[in-house]
Structure 1
């Protein structure tokens, strides 16, 4: 994320357009120069780094771009730590205590530092110079750059671009996300991201025609909440791993900018999966949990006419969507869905079983960990008895296959 003063955008006809950088030789050189500046300051104080950056930005017309990139490097690629061998708060306490016993003078300062060094040397030897250095070593500008993971210049430019778009979303009060007809796994991935980042939404549509997700933005909630705005901004890099989508956000205009048209009551901001933004988040894992991964690994070792499929259609349900973990497909055309319920909060369990009931689907095998306290969560799974598989620790594929055979035994073959 970038602070508000480092965001760069323009508004044309009520539409917000974040600034984007092209990977020109000049921009790549700027990114490389910044990266080398951070590398040259390894082992030095943040104050020294800030001074180098100040000199670098002086007189440059693109100083906001430089400061934005530097902010991203400081907060995403750098590790700053308090240096020295003594706890600054303890050093300050001892020095201030000793200073009260001496009249003000240059000699007094040196004497106090030497006395403090002797007094604090019980755990490790300290000199007067060590004490002086430790006095305010925990202040941000006195911390030491202890590690730096340099990105490629191109990656830094891409990260800056995305940070501008994230900053715009931070002020949104409503968003409409359209997931176009897509692979089922992409829908599932998208909905899992919204849940992971704690976003509130309603879902309409189906896997054939696509889904429309309406999300509440941060400024629509009780006058605006920083936490939700941050979650919404963090959601964008995850969304970039999903294909075929369009996003429209409605924003409150910034009244602190002199060039803003006072007649503007709202702004619009649009994004699509084809806009070329690049995510700095790692690619999502194939499986969402060790339970799913372990089940899949054990299944492939079996000799069976059933095939375990990860690409599963979503099941629309009034009030939500069911995202089955797997499908079991038999060579003769029979199939069932598999939902694994592992370690989750009571609220999640209640919603999960409520959606399963609303779906009316009788072809969903529900695998439940015995470690879950369903009774305490207010969940009664008795109406799923025919389709329940209880497990401890690991889920046995043979038990799931046995239920699949029983459920589909009377079904006509395609």
Structure 2
């Protein structure tokens, strides 16, 4: 991600809005060729110093109209993020400098070309020092400032898939930089809700959820300290969460942002229709191979009238939300949630049992690994036990028993 120093945004104080810098095809069509050249610089730059690479990126964009230095530096940062640099953290570079400077001081002053007044030429002295240290001068030169950030040398570059991918990453990164000062993030989601919630948890963001008309959900994201006061403490977490949100579909968001010395309140609005592209792959549909194998074995067609749906039901209890692993929908209209509990820590099992108890008034089927069952507190729930794979016949038996009690 970028740092605050790389952030570029237009702020409309009258309307209270903020618009992060964005490259678009029409106005910034030249940047596609620039991106190709920038990727080429790094792809062919093995052994070059960070300073040299940055200078070449600046040279590429220097003549581009209305291209601020912060934008150029932002591209350098994104390219560096995809790079591996050789750096010295052992102190060898500092020791080498002491040796070289001590030897060079014997020949002071050094000049480019010796003459009758100054007899010590720079090139000759370098060769003399190299011979004394038993290394070539090129080796010494590469290691002399290996502990200085600007002189780290490029070792590897994983790059970006294409020039458009680099430009897309820049656009997303500028939105992320704007979110560093966010105090709250509100999302209206009509699809991929479960994925949004999962990544919000991974970003360590607290959430409050409520349904809205039309079948979607409103998700408010912040952090623990936000319950006491407005704080920008969790803005970085929101920025990390953003690429996951962009990878989803049918959503819109509003971020409340505090900016400037006077702490102006502005908002950032974005939606899935704005054309931003995430570098993240779609999340895995299943949490474990046990779930995947069970779903594949069950298939897409109903069994005894029961249709299996992955995370198809969302249960609410006040401000607490529970998304079971599966839902079984019967042709009669009955819907039974299903939660699979495999190998987990005792702390997780304790928390899971509290959640299951809280939602036990809903039709709920528990599928538990036999090795975990002894550690799981006793729950008054229909349960299926499995060892290595979940048996469909056992699940169907329990589902039909639940159906009979609901009749």
Please classify the TM superposition score into its range, dividing by the shorter chain length: 0.7 to 0.9
Q: Cα gap change, 1:352/1:102 in structure 2, threshold over 3 Å: closer, same or farther? A: same
> Which position in structure 1 is the counterpart of 2:36?
32
Distance 2:257 2:374 in 1: 42
> Which position in structure 1 is the counterpart of 2:217?
211
Q: Size of the alignment, in residue pairs?
A: 382
Distance 2:384 2:71 in 1: 56
Distance 1:135 1:372 in 2: 57
Higher deviation after alignment, 355-364 or 293-302: 293-302
SS of equivalent residue, structure 2 residue 313: coil
Report deviation, 1:323. Answer: 0.6
Contact kept, 8 Å, 1:387 with 1:403, in 2: the verdict is yes
Q: Cα gap change, 1:129/1:10 in structure 2, threshold over 3 Å: closer, same or farther? A: closer
Contact kept, 8 Å, 1:206 with 1:316, in 2: the verdict is no
> Which position in structure 2 is the counterpart of 1:142?
152
Higher deviation after alignment, 61-70 or 165-174: 61-70
Contact kept, 8 Å, 2:244 with 2:280, in 1: the verdict is yes
- RMSD (Å), alpha carbons: 3.6
TM (norm. structure 1) is: 0.78
Report deviation, 1:172. Answer: 0.6
Of the candidates 130, 142, 146, which is equivalent to residue 133 of structure 1? Answer: 142
> Which position in structure 1 is the counterpart of 2:54?
50
> Which position in structure 1 is the counterpart of 2:67?
62
Higher deviation after alignment, 188-197 or 18-27: 18-27
> Which position in structure 2 is the counterpart of 1:176?
186
Of the candidates 11, 16, 19, which is equivalent to residue 18 of structure 2? Answer: 16
Distance 1:247 1:193 in 2: 15
CA displacement, residues 148-198 of structure 1 (integer Å, 9 cap, x when unaligned): 42432222222222111111111011222222xx35xx2222211211221
> Which position in structure 1 is the counterpart of 2:324?
324
Structure 1 stretches (4+) deviating beyond 6 angstroms? 96-103, 107-112
Contact kept, 8 Å, 1:218 with 1:225, in 2: the verdict is no
Report deviation, 1:405. Answer: 2.6
Unpaired segments ≥5 residues, structure 1: 118-125, 256-261
Unpaired segments ≥5 residues, structure 2: 108-123
Distance 1:392 1:69 in 2: 52
Contact kept, 8 Å, 2:93 with 2:144, in 1: the verdict is yes
Q: Cα gap change, 1:158/1:392 in structure 2, threshold over 3 Å: closer, same or farther? A: same
Distance 1:26 1:344 in 2: 52
SS of equivalent residue, structure 2 residue 25: coil
Report deviation, 1:95. Answer: 4.4
> Which position in structure 2 is the counterpart of 1:403?
398
